[in-house]
Amino acid sequence: MFDRQTARYVSLLADFWVSLGSGTHYVYSAYGPQLATRLGFTATQSSVIATLGSVGVYFSGPPAGVIIDRKPPHIPIIIGGCLILFGYMMMRFAYVSELRSVAFVGIFMIIASSGNTFAFHACVKCAAMNFPHKRGMATSIPVAGYGLSALFFSQIGNAAFPGDTGRFMLMLPLLASGLVFLGLPFVRNIPLENIIDSEVAVTPGEVEDLETDALLRHAGTNESAASTGDLKSKEGNYSSISEFEREASLNGESSSDESMVDEIVLPVQEEVDIHGWALFKDIRFWIHFSIHGLLSGCGLMYILSAGYVLRALYTYSNPYISPNDLQKNQAIQVSLVSSFSFIGRIVAGYSGDRLKRKGYQRMWIIFAAACIFTLAQIGGLTITSSRFMWFISVFNGIGYGFLFGSYASIISEIFGLKRFSENYGFLTIATVVGSDVFAFAFGAIYDSNSYFIDEMMPDDDYTAPYNSTYEYFNGNSTMRRFGSQVGQVCDLGRDCYRDAFIITVPAAIIAAILALSVIFYENRLKAREEAAAAVEESTEAAAADSE
């Protein structure tokens, strides 16, 4: 139906579409507080459910990677779509039936989140395979769709079902799985043409985006057999032309603009393949594991708890806010995180490729992400009004986008593309570790500063002064009432959760130090290799002169 080049771009668009339906894990903060209130869960129990979602997303990475690396992409995408549909439908059943079981909701959160991983990782691997010469930019497309998912679903839910959590939780599985299955026919690995040994095909229109100093400009030239033979001897380091052109050059034939072949072939360095026990023995893996865990943990703590942060600040400043308005403001914060995460992922993919071509490391993007996360955590530590929550949401979104928009390419370059999905799955387990620690800390701190209010309140309670806390006797016990809030309430504003950000600020700073250490180490290693190569070259030149 399409030529190969067009098919690759169609597949990339489908990767984005499927990934858009596969990022539903991040939508939890848009309905999590309402789910917890209806089922009577504490903030810690809600954090447990959110964390179990992270367990599903990231612990399913390695087994999903094994399938993705061995099967065509439609297999894991079908598995993912089915798990998303089943998991979220069962969570809605618990909500509608008021089934007050953390274990029940958590199990199906794991199932739905695992489906996200199967579909999303298949799209990332497909994008990397179809565009090996632009891995950073190509993989950032599905990664960006994954990050945009929360904005997409929260805004649709807020517009179509304002304040109706039950209908929102019905829309979520139907629309998410629908997007996954809709893009399924177009997600394909498209074979590259004119591949010679370890060379990668590049179309002429893409040449200017590559390292032009490494590209053989062959249009309208007459090359001798000797020059072509010299070119053959340097195939490992320089670009070469196709077999057809090579034979023509040997025969003294020139290539005109009209007869130029459709593709120029640009070889890449020999692909590394580090996986299994070799991966775990590599110290580089554990350094990146630590950086990823610290930063993603900081980001996820806020992303999954933004509803509680907003509720605490609103309860302190405007205790009579309606549930509809509260949910609308939650959707705004989720949208901010998601939209700026989307922007961050696109920028990170493009910038990473540009940095790589100019001789710099992609780790500079990770260092920038750590600095941005640090600013976001400081914002969470100091902001006392819900009007300025946008600062925390925007900077968490950008940092999260930079992090996940870069690490796929970093891992494929360090450990190889052959087992990329499996290796990347192991790396993302770090997110579970980081989010477990920080999310549980947030929940415990919030719970320690909260109290519960029964849903049934005496009518005369609404005559209380604005922004007041007082007691009333409900027959058996003395209860406290704060404004129009019910369920779990914390009336301390920022102090409800402030201690959680005291933990994440140093975590982000440590990650920045580790990223900077990796950059300096790689620079020193590169300098040593260049010095050794220069010595070897001068030795060979001296030997040639002596002969």
373 contact partners, CB below 8 Å, separation of at least 6: 295, 298, 299, 395, 396, 399, 508, 511
Residue from 166, 181, 173 nearest 108 by CA? 173
Q: What is the mean pLDDT of the chain?
A: 76
At residue 342, φ and ψ (nearest 5 deg) are: -60, -50
Q: What is the pLDDT of residue 454?
A: 56
Q: What is the distance between the alpha carbons of residues 125 and 135, in angstroms, rounded to a whole number? A: 10
pLDDT at 1: 58
Phi-psi region of 22 (alpha: psi -120 to 50; beta: other; left: phi over 0): alpha
pLDDT at 5 over 50: yes
Percent of the chain residues past pLDDT 90, beyond the cut: 24
CA distance linking residue 434 with residue 498, whole number of Å: 18
* Contact assessment for residue 107 and residue 83, using Cβ atoms and an 8 Å cutoff: no
User: How distant, in Å, are the alpha carbons of 53, 204, 238, 337, 486 from that of 216?
Assistant: 50, 12, 8, 44, 71
- Tokens standing for residue 322: 């309606």
Query: How many C-beta atoms surround the C-beta of residue 450 within 10 A?
Result: 21
The percent of residues in the chain predicted with pLDDT above 70, rounded, is: 76
- Mean pLDDT, rounded, for 1-24: 85
Q: Quick check: helix, strand or coil at residue 275?
A: coil
Predicted pLDDT at 471: 40
Amino acid (one-letter) located at 225: A
Start-to-end CA span in the chain (Å): 61
For 307-340, the pLDDT digits (tens) are: 888 888 877 766 666 667 777 787 788 888 888 9
CA 280 vs. chain centroid, Å, equals: 22
DSSP 45-105: HHHHHHHHHHHHHHHTHHHHHHHHHHS-THHHHHHHHHHHHHHHHHHHHHHHHT---HHHH
Specify the pLDDT at position 322: 66
Burial 337-362 (b: 16+ CB within 10 A, else e): bbbbbbbbbbbbbebbbebbeeeebb
Could you tell me if 31 and 204 are in contact, meaning their C-beta atoms sit under 8 angstroms apart? no
Q: Which of 128, 183, 187, 143 is nearest to 17 (CA)?
A: 183
- The residue behind tokens 């996820």 is 300
Query: Residue 480 pairs with which residues in a beta bridge?
Result: 471
Between the CA of residue 241 and those of 110, 232, 525, what are the distances in Å? Answer: 50, 10, 32
Distances (CA, A) of 500 to 313, 314, 380, 543: 15, 18, 9, 65
Model confidence pLDDT, tens digit, residues 162-182: 878 889 999 999 999 999 999
- The token pair that represents 25 in the structure block: 């894990």
How many angstroms separate the Cα of 322 from the Cα of each of 46, 154, 198, 205, 463? 21, 18, 62, 56, 16
What are the pLDDT digits (tens) for 188-198? 888 765 443 33
According to the 3-state scheme, what is the secondary structure of 453-515? ECCCCCHHHHHCCCCCEEEEECCCCEEEEECCCCEEECCCHHHHCHHHHHHHHHHHHHHHHHH
Cα separation, 32 vs 45, whole angstroms: 11
Question: Rounded mean pLDDT of 285-293?
Answer: 92
Q: Please give the structure tokens belonging to residue 50.
A: 């959110």
CB 446 within 8 A of CB 308: yes
User: What is the C-alpha radius of gyration for the chain, rounded to an integer number of angstroms?
Assistant: 27
Q: Write out the two tokens for 33.
A: 């507080």
Cα–Cα distances in Å, from 240 out to 108, 244, 265, 415? 53, 11, 6, 26
Residue 109 confidence (pLDDT): 94
What's the pLDDT score for residue 191?
A: 73
Strand partners, 303: none
Q: Over 60: is that where the pLDDT of 123 sits?
A: yes
Report CA dihedral (238, 244, 249, 251) to the nearest 10 degrees: 150
Question: What is the predicted pLDDT for the residue at 370?
Answer: 95
Q: Stretch 382-398: mean pLDDT, rounded?
A: 90
> Which residue bears the tokens 């929360």?
150
